[in-house]
């Protein structure tokens, strides 16, 4: 959907939600840089979200979803349309007790943040989420991109999701219809509101030990303190072998570690991280990402696909999630 006119207050003024106009989005992303949204809406109920999406669909108004801002870059000029953020209690609740029922499932709101949930799962004595320690995502965002790393992916835990379509229709989608793959799943257009995960009871001491192991691995191999959005590129498939290869390694081999363009630079710690100096320009990150893609293509013949999503006012530069 594209915004054909500035969003009208009639889209939301009778709904249970809060609205911020000309909302600065850059500060809500891990890059701490970027432009504003015409409208930032925070629904308080699923019904309010469903009605808002239905009205936006009818009026042709663009809707985007903001999670934790960890896999997102907002261009300096900002964006049009409506941005939805699910940070109200209705979308952030964790119902761990379901994991001890006959269903063996835990229900997590889509707006809940994954990193604190991994620690909570250890206290609950539930295994599964510890493999995702250190991944800064909302549950909804993590599902849409099948977030994961060397220790596992969230898609292996999902049994079903609660979903609101772009037309405002509520449904439950089983995991078998989501076709989880590497940094991908086949969600239709719309918004995840909750997920049901299969977490297994285990020894809290062992789970905490695994959390520490995964967290230590990330801290030792990634520039966690830099202003970045995590891995900029997906690990591509080598056309000669058919196997996935490290995007960071390809960037290293192209001699780009530490390479800078304006206020953005390739991390000297990990080649797949593009970081930004304090007060830097989001547009510099986009320009540097393009330059890295071109250099790697010239050096290795492999085209890198960006994992970080870029939002712009003219169009969203293709990527795989917010």
Q: List the catalytic residues.
A: 183, 231, 307
Tokens read off for 95 = 């119902």
Compute the Cα dihedral for 153, 154, 160, 161 and give only its sign.
negative
Compute the Cα dihedral for 206, 127, 116, 31 and give only its sign.
positive
Taking a C-beta distance cutoff of 8 angstroms, is the pair 321, 309 a contact?
Answer: yes
Which residues does 141 contact at the CB level (< 8 Å), separation at least 6?
Answer: 65, 67, 68, 70, 71, 147, 321, 322
Taking a C-beta distance cutoff of 8 angstroms, is the pair 293, 271 a contact?
Answer: no
Tokens read off for 312 = 């712009």
Across 40-60, b (16+ Cβ under 10 Å) vs e yields: bbbbeebebbbbbbbbbbeee
């Amino acid at each position: 959907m594209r915004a054909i006119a500035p969003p009208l207050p009639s889209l939301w003024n009778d709904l249970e939600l809060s609205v911020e106009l000309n909302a600065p989005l850059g500060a809500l992303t891990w890059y701490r840089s970027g432009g504003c949204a015409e409208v930032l809406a925070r629904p308080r109920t699923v019904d309010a979200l469903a009605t808002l999406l239905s009205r936006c669909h009818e009026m042709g108004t663009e809707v985007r979803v903001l999670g934790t801002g960890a896999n997102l870059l907002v261009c300096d000029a900002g964006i049009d349309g409506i941005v939805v953020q699910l940070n109200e209690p209705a979308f952030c609740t964790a119902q761990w007790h379901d994991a001890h029922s006959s269903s063996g499932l835990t229900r997590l709101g889509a707006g809940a943040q994954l990193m604190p949930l991994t620690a909570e799962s250890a206290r609950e004595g539930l295994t599964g989420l510890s493999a995702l320690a250190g991944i800064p995502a909302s549950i909804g965002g993590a599902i849409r991109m099948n977030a994961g790393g060397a220790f596992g992916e969230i898609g292996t835990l999902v049994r079903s999701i609660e979903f609101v379509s772009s037309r405002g229709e509520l449904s439950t989608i089983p995991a078998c219809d989501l076709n989880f793959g590497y940094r991908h799943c086949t969600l239709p257009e719309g918004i995840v509101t909750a997920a049901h995960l299969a977490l297994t009871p285990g020894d809290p001491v062992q789970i905490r030990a695994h959390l520490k192991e995964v967290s230590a691995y990330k801290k030792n191999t990634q520039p966690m303190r830099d202003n970045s959005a995590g891995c900029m590129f997906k690990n591509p498939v080598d056309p000669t072998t058919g196997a996935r290869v490290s995007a960071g390694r390809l960037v290293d081999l192209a001699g780009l570690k530490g390479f800078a363009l304006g206020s953005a630079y390739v991390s000297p710690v990990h080649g797949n991280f593009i970081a930004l100096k304090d007060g830097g320009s989001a547009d510099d990150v986009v320009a540097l990402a393009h330059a890295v893609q071109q250099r790697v293509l010239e050096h290795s013949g492999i085209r890198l696909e960006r994992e970080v999503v870029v939002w712009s006012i003219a169009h969203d530069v293709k990527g795989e999630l917010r």
